[in-house]
Amino acid sequence: MAASPRRAVGIVDYRAGNLRSIANAFDHLGCEVVIVTREADFDGLTHLVLPGVGAFGHCAQNLRDSGLLPAVTRWALNDARPLLGICVGMQLLADASEELGEHAGLGWIHGRVQRLPAAERGVRLPHVGWNTVRFVAATAGFVAGESEDFYFDHTYGFFCADPRNIAAECTHGVTFAAAVRRDNIVAAQFHPEKSQDAGLRFLAGFLAST
C-alpha cells in the first residue's frame, strides 16, 4: 500500500488539528510530509491536508488568523490541486455551522453542519468509535456500494445541499455525509489516520486518485 516516494503531502497547521497522527499515517505510506505553517511551505507539495479538531467556530477563526487561508484557497480552487479535509477540516468546507452559534464556513461544498439528532433517536453523542461507512460514489480507492468500518469522534454532521457531493454515508441516529467530494477536493468526517488498514487504504486512494 506504499505511495510513490515523489508524493509530498502538506498538512496545514493552524492550531486546530492532530497533526502527528496524520503525519505518521502518510509517512507509513512512503510520503514526504511537510507541516505547513507559512506560504513558502507549499512549494514542492503534491497533496494538501486540512485537518481539524474542536469547535467549528474556533477552527474557522484559527484558519483565518493563521494567514494560510489565501494560499489554501489558491491551491484548492484556483489551481485545482488535491485537497483532503479531515473531521472539522471537512466541516469547514460547508457554507455554515450551527455549532455554538452561527458560523460561516468556506462554502466550497454547499451544505450546513448541524448537530446530529441523536438523543431522540436512542443513540449517544458524541458519536465516538467505529461505525460502518457506505460509499455511494467511487472515492479514494473505494467503489460505490462498498462498505467499511472507520473511526469517528464528532457531535455535528455535514448535511450536503447537493446529494451529488456525497461520497459516503454513515448512520448514527440519522444518516449523514461520512465523506464528501467536489472535483479535486475530498473530505472525510471520520479519522482515516485512526482507522487502521481501512484508513490507510483511504489515504492511499486519495494519493492515487487525485
Q: Record the pTM.
A: 0.94
CA-closest candidate to residue 66, choices 58, 56, 74: 58
What are the sequence ranges of the domains in the chain?
A: 8-209
Which fold is adopted by the domain 8-209? Rossmann fold (3.40.50)
- pLDDT tens for the chain, 210 residues: list them: 554 457 999 999 999 878 999 999 999 999 999 999 999 999 999 999 999 999 999 999 999 999 999 999 999 999 999 999 999 999 999 999 999 999 999 999 999 999 998 666 688 999 999 999 999 999 999 999 999 999 999 999 999 999 999 999 999 999 999 999 999 999 999 999 999 999 999 999 999 976
| Residue 77 exposed, middle or buried by CB count within 10 Å (0-12, 13-18, 19+) | middle
Q: Which residues form the catalytic set?
A: 87, 191, 193
